[in-house]
Structure 1
Amino acid sequence: MKLHPWALGAALLVPPGAGAVELSIATVDNGHMIRMQALTPHFEKANPGIRVKWVTLSEGDLREQVSADIAGKGGRYDVVTIGMYEVPIWARKGWLRPFQPDDRYDAGDLLPAMRKGLSLDGKLYAAPFYGESSMLMYRRDLLHKAGAALSYQPTWDEVKKVAAKLHDPAAGVYGICLRGKPGWGDNMALLTTMVNTFGGQWFDMSWRPRIDSEPWKRAIGFYVDLLKNYGPPQPAHHSFNENLALFNAGKCGMWIDATIAASFVSDPKQSKVADKVAFAQAPTAVTPKGASWLWAWSLAIPAGTTRADAAQRFVNWATSREYIELVARTDGWARIPTGTRTSTYKRPEFLQAAGFAFHEAMAIAFTDPGNSTLPKSPYVGVQFASIPEFQAIGNETGRRIGAALEGQMSVDEALSAAQKMAEAEMRQAGGQAAAK
């Protein structure tokens, strides 16, 4: 039997007669991560000295538990699934080990936006498992039936008009599905892009919060009105997975979310409407800046792990070109994790299988975290501000907007409360000095 390249040196990890090294890996409960778990026996077979233990959590629970463990140096996990927000902040605090690509890895093949977003001072501190921007997915059959059309990059006003035409709850179809579940990585991921394109920002150049500004009021008012009139029931309970299930069941006329969803909604094994889906870029309002987000779910190694060698070996395997080809062999090219490597978008097999490839590549390529707002901003990030204080501010703002969506307060009341909370948070942190 031919020895797998990752098995080279694996015997050195475990002395003869000793038990296997057990890696504890924390990840999010979405489709690509579930597939990775199913393919883990391939890694274990090639690395007989390593066994993998998975801890799979919802997005909010993952962030909460991993953040607490890392900050408290609990040592519970050997590999964690985190994103572009956490990586540079945690690396600067010394909470992460640098990622060490092996000889086969080809870090130069990583998309520049992903490599840059996961680095600090030019050094990678995480490896992207899949990357994404955001875009609009829609039912072309429903638009045709309604006599409606969408531009390649529509405006939010255009989206609202089409949602009104598609909305038919009696037939089980809602005009539009959007994230409503509170959280900086849930509803605020979408809402920050809306605020950006409506001309707003989180902080001005003096690090003053701008949550109660007119662009925020216009963007959030538009969002609440859109979902109340043309969204599904109880939208404040819906985030990525809930809206994915609705769309795949044929209940959403349009959905604006992560580009990675395209591989799921166009998969006939998962989606009842796979052959009826079309794609467009994320909507704009007064500016195209920051209209679509940029993110990479990535694998990182906590500084406190005692199983660093095995962890590095796993991260190299799971984020490699060879892993992408393994998924292609077992599940097809349309189901590979995308948004990480230049070579992926040069594979004829992928381009032929994935009707969304061009739209996804364009969304990623034209999203600039360093220039995502119309007024100049002091922070890097599209759907987040890359400062430690943002997580608490984003979560609390999301909670208040969720309350407005449920009718518990007005939009102005929600944003006023969020503004006061953000001001207090920044005062306590020392403002700009703490942000650095």
Structure 2
Amino acid sequence: MYYSKLLVGLAGTAFALSASAATELVIATVNNGHMIEMQKLTPFFEKANPDIKVKWVTLEEGTLRQRVTTDIATKGGQFDVMTIGLYEAPIWSKKGWLKPIATDTAYDVDDILPAIRNGLSYENKLYAAPFYGESSMLMYRKDLADKAGIKIPDQPTWTQVKELAAKVHDPKAGVYGICLRGKPGWGDNMGPLSTVANTFGGQWFNMEWKPQLDTKPWHDAITFYVDLMKAYGPPGASANSFNENLALFNEGKCGAWVDATIAASFISDPKQSKVADKVAFAQAPIAVTPKGANWLWSWNLAIPASSTKDEAAQKFIRWATSKDYINLVAKQAGWGSVPTGTRKSTYANPEFQKAAKFAEAEKKAIDSANINDATLPKSPYIGIQYAAIPEFQAIGTAVGQQMSAALSGKVTVDQALKTSQTIAEREMKKAGYYK
């Protein structure tokens, strides 16, 4: 009896020790649909890796960026895996803040779309693994366009989009002509606004690194945007970002929306969208040039150099960004719900093609985005809707506040751009880019 009690006690102690010995991975991520799905599927990873427990820190996009930037710059060590963007990856890998991603044959790194893979590599090494990738495109209500007698070409102009917005705008019926981001932030309103500026012939900085925000292309682009949104946008648009516009579109309240291609999988999902069977897709609108009209972005998983749990972190990243993970999502939620924009094999899959009527337009947008040649005048920076320099975060956010103020009518477009130019010049001079 004593021995059996002793054995039970020892077994309990061993179990407790093994449980306490489990590696806890703290992962910081953004609060969007695909990341929330990943959290739901984490038990599959933990079951296959009983020695690893995952703890999620889920944050709104702007807060996530602040938290992970502060943590990695100060070597805070709060997170073992971070969700970072295409903007941070080249800057942080160059600074030595990230660990390279350890890939094996099964992971098949060559299956990653070239545009995304190149953006996440430094000196031919992958420093962040893409969880999903995106460009931007036009999503619109085909039923409303047909009713208005408007045919949208595969590559529309902003003028054509404005015509569509004007024809379908019917606030009394709860339909607004167009939904675009207005919430301030370099990754919020300045994402789409930078592409509008690009295609109107603008750039953030010229070859001498002098800011170009008070030039005619920017003035034309922002005037067009403000006029468009004031005439045909929803009320309170200056507070709307991706999630707010997604909710409006899914409720049938947007005639057109130019935003991340990733939205296509949500607005065409009948479980989420009231207009799933009424949507159509086209390339992002152009003005005087097609250059930089559609952005390139990916949300990626990366390991800060300060992490002491490298082996467990690498395992998790390989799992969450693998072909097997995509198949798991397809099995659990259907092919229309898989994270897109990362792997060639996803787009080659007949099941995905059948479920995702947006697949062709999305891949075309991603493949055509070029982070090394996104502006009509030559630019010294990498990036389409951002400039991949450390100072851009602060500049982009400050400019975003001015653009949001112009949209809400607190300042004129001229005032907003003049103030933006002053802020950008001050920051770039302070950082030593020019005198």
| Distance in 1 of aligned mates of 2:362 and 2:305 | 33
Tell me the TM-score normalised to structure 1 length.
0.95
In the comparison of the two structures, how many residue pairs are matched?
Answer: 420
| Distance in 2 of aligned mates of 1:138 and 1:405 | 22
Q: Residues 17, 23 of structure 1: CA spacing in aligned structure 2 closer, same or farther, 3 A cutoff?
A: closer
Where in structure 2 are the equivalents of 1:24-423 lying within 5 Å?
24-423=26-425
Instruction: Show structure 1 runs of 5+ residues with no match.
Output: 1-13
| Distance in 2 of aligned mates of 1:111 and 1:423 | 36
Give how far 1:378 is off.
0.6
Aligned residue for 2:106, secondary structure, equals coil
Task: State whether residues 214 and 418 of structure 2, in contact with CA within 8 Å, keep that contact through their aligned partners in structure 1.
Answer: yes
| Distance in 1 of aligned mates of 2:207 and 2:34 | 38
Give how far 1:94 is off.
1.3
Give how far 1:17 is off.
6.3
Aligned residue for 1:165, secondary structure, equals helix
What one-letter code is carried by the residue in structure 1 that aligns with 2:307? T
Aligned residue for 1:324, secondary structure, equals helix
What one-letter code is carried by the residue in structure 1 that aligns with 2:254? C
What one-letter code is carried by the residue in structure 1 that aligns with 2:393? Q
What one-letter code is carried by the residue in structure 1 that aligns with 2:381? Y
Give how far 1:20 is off.
1.2
Give how far 1:16 is off.
4.8
| Distance in 2 of aligned mates of 1:378 and 1:103 | 36
| Distance in 2 of aligned mates of 1:164 and 1:309 | 55
Aligned to 1:7: none
Deviation readout 1:259-287 (Å, 9 max, x if unpaired) = 00000000000000000010000000000
- RMSD (CA atoms): 1.2
What one-letter code is carried by the residue in structure 2 that aligns with 1:79? V
Give how far 1:149 is off.
1.9
Deviation readout 1:110-168 (Å, 9 max, x if unpaired) = 11111100011111100000000000000011111222221111100111111011111
| Distance in 2 of aligned mates of 1:221 and 1:68 | 35
| Distance in 2 of aligned mates of 1:17 and 1:391 | 41
Deviation readout 1:79-121 (Å, 9 max, x if unpaired) = 0001110011011111111111134201111111111000111
| Distance in 2 of aligned mates of 1:47 and 1:325 | 19
Structure with max Cα Rg: 2
Aligned residue for 1:205, secondary structure, equals coil
Instruction: Show structure 2 runs of 5+ residues with no match.
Output: 1-15
Aligned residue for 1:315, secondary structure, equals helix
Aligned residue for 1:133, secondary structure, equals strand
Deviation readout 1:313-365 (Å, 9 max, x if unpaired) = 00000000000000010111111000101111111111111100000010011
| Distance in 1 of aligned mates of 2:322 and 2:42 | 14
Aligned residue for 2:262, secondary structure, equals helix
Aligned to 1:5: none
| Distance in 1 of aligned mates of 2:115 and 2:69 | 24
Task: State whether residues 210 and 434 of structure 2, in contact with CA within 8 Å, keep that contact through their aligned partners in structure 1.
Answer: no
Give how far 1:15 is off.
8.2
Tell me the TM-score normalised to structure 2 length.
0.95
Aligned residue for 2:198, secondary structure, equals helix
What one-letter code is carried by the residue in structure 2 that aligns with 1:286? V
What one-letter code is carried by the residue in structure 2 that aligns with 1:358? E
Give how far 1:219 is off.
0.2
Runs of 4+ in structure 1 deviating by more than 6 angstroms, as ranges, are none
What one-letter code is carried by the residue in structure 1 that aligns with 2:431? A
